[in-house]
A and B are shown apart, each in its own frame.
Chain A
Amino acid sequence: MESTPDKKTKNEPENSRFVRSGRNFRITAGFLFLIVSAELVAQPGLTIYADAGKNNASGGLFIRSAAMVNYGFGKNRIETGFQFGIKNAGNSSFSGFNINASRELSFKSYLFHLQGFYTRKGCSEILCETNWGALIDMRHKRFEIAIGTNFRTYAFKSGAIDEYGINGDASKFHENFNMMYSIGYYIKPADDLWNAGLAITNFDSFMIEQGVNPALRLRGLYKPGSQVCLYAEAWYLTAGFLNMSMNFFGFNFKTGISWNF
């Protein structure tokens, strides 16, 4: 009977564990140094919102809530968030997750944010939707514009693949290079105490619609302190808009608070 050689004795010299340990220590120390350095200029933040509405597919009123934490250091920012379905919003209470990283860029007098993101939503007991992509946004005076692309995958969950006998190749469907956009106008400059604006867009924190199905978003915001922002949004969703046969699809109201510590 052939014995299985010990990987360590076969492939590595005896002192390799110490070499690896030293390398791991340096990497860990490097990360710690970066984090500590970043702490000096870092700013964490928290956003919480609640969302309620109704649409053609929701089967009545839906209620959702979400919490997102962000951490800014220098010109960089990372954010992660969770969405919870409370009523008619998928079959599980934990209905969405997202993470994104962005960096501030400047060109002449214009400031941009370049963002990469990943989102996962559990649509139902048998299906989930994931998106990843990139987005660039710009705020100039009263205008806010964002444009980007996303790659969407609908995938059957493993339980459904077994239960319904779904072929492996047929368990996923990909959409590549979908268009994302948002064009908005605010009635006051960005740093005002309160503001209101209207936008046409096809995405939100946990939702990316097809580009052919634009939504109207009305946003009002108020800053009671320099680090706190209260906001409320009303959304109007349409179907068939680009085919000249437009149908009301749904509406929702969203209110939340953003707090930079």
Chain B
Amino acid sequence: MELLMKNSWMLLTAIFVTMASCEPVDFSFPEPADQRFERSRELLAEKSSREIAVQSDDYSILFMADSHAGTTNNLDRVFSIAMATGVSAVCIAGDLTSGNIDDYQEFAQSIPDKSEIPTYLTPGNHDLWSDDGWNKYLDLFGASSYYFTVRTPEASDMFISLDSGTGTLGSKQLAWLEDILQNQRSLCRRCIIFTHNDFLRVRHSEISNPLVEELTVLIDLFTRYQVDMLIAGHDHIPSEELFGITDYIIVGAISDNDEDPNYMKLRVENGNLLREFVNL
């Protein structure tokens, strides 16, 4: 090492040889997206398919993000509202915790039993920070890449969870998404994707967005297969942008530390999607 430091050209040569090897060193931290996806698929293979049956063609789902537990006062309030208003499911788009692995337990205690209200989660970058963050997430909440359907008397609607916690979907999850859209999309009336990272850079910030090359592939897929909505968190500031045929929505943060905590209520009425940002 001392020799390398003394001779900067040798150091650069060493880096070049490393980079030029057929499989470059993966500096990913924490677990890379491809590995998380594979674990998700293994876990899902053991479980039955996820379907919610509702009695009417009108139903509602609540979307929120960035609860950043620690404390869960706002989270508990939203679940109370969800149960009181009879929504069909709740989806939380990542950053369930602030990165402390002990907070997972606190968060998990706020999640109502499945019989009370089905809750669907996806991880955010904070959830993966700690050394064992991904494994803990997997143990407590299960897969991060999956889809569920809501079956009404008239039609089925598809909701896809994507794991974008490390800023990219990874090649395997991207291939899976394309496969789902290609083979399942036409069977469903509406298609809604929820994930943590917001895809369109609607304002200046230091938060990660997908790389341009990945984003253009995704926009292409969303258009070809008529994805109606992409619902994300990460930015903490609610926004909506229609680009192509897809509505790119960012829901605000539900964190107790957020000045304007809010969530989004998605109402499906005879197949029409009606969204409402709700301040707590």
Contacts and interface: CB of A to CB of B under 8 A. Distances in A.
Interface of A: 55-59, 123-127, 129, 152, 154, 156, 160, 164-167, 169-171, 173, 175, 177-178, 187, 196-198, 207-210, 212-213, 216, 218, 220, 234, 236-251, 253
16 contacts: A56-B169, A177-B204, A178-B201, A209-B212, A210-B201, A212-B209, A236-B24, A240-B168, A240-B208, A242-B208, A245-B165, A245-B167, A249-B167, A249-B168, A251-B19, A251-B24
A247 B15 contact: no
B8 A240 contact: no
Given A59-B175, A166-B223, A239-B168, 8 more contacts: A55-B214, A125-B220, A170-B245, A196-B13, A196-B16, A210-B212, A238-B27, A246-B27
Nearest to A160: B223
Interface of B: 8-9, 12-13, 15-16, 19-20, 24, 26-30, 32-33, 125, 128-129, 165-171, 174-175, 200-201, 204, 206-214, 216-217, 219-220, 223-224, 226, 241-245
A243 B125 contact: yes
Contact of B210 (A218, A239, A251): A239
B211 A173 contact: no
B177 to A, nearest CB: 11
A165 B245 contact: yes
Contacts of B217: 57, 124
Contacts of B167: 213, 238-241, 243, 245-247, 249
B223 A248 contact: no
B220 A237 contact: no
Contacts of A212: 206-209
B164 to A, nearest CB: 9
Contacts of A213: 167, 208-209, 211
Contacts of A216: 19
3 nearest interchain CB pairs? Answer: A240-B167, A239-B167, A247-B166
A251 B128 CA distance: 24
Contacts of A247: 28, 32-33, 166-168, 170
| Most chain A beta-carbon contacts within 10 A, residue among B9, B207, B213 | B213
Nearest to B8: A187
A248 to B, nearest CB: 5
Contacts of B241: 173
Contacts, number: 168
A192 to B, nearest CB: 11
B212 A56 contact: no
Contacts of A154: 216, 219, 243
Contacts of B128: 245
Nearest to A216: B19
B30 A245 contact: yes
Contacts of A156: 223, 244
B19 A218 contact: yes
Given A126-B220, A209-B212, A234-B20, A243 B207 contact: yes
Contacts of B211: 55-57, 209-210, 213, 237, 239, 249
A19 to B, nearest CB: 49
A55 B207 contact: no
A244 B242 CA distance: 29
A248 B245 CA distance: 30
Given A156-B244, A240-B208, A253-B20, A57 B213 contact: yes
Nearest to A240: B167
B54 to A, nearest CB: 29
Nearest to B175: A59
A192 B204 CA distance: 40
B212 A129 contact: yes
B168 A56 contact: yes
Contact of A244 (B32, B125, B216, B244): B125
Nearest to A194: B9
A239 B128 CA distance: 14
A126 B223 contact: yes
A236 B19 CA distance: 7
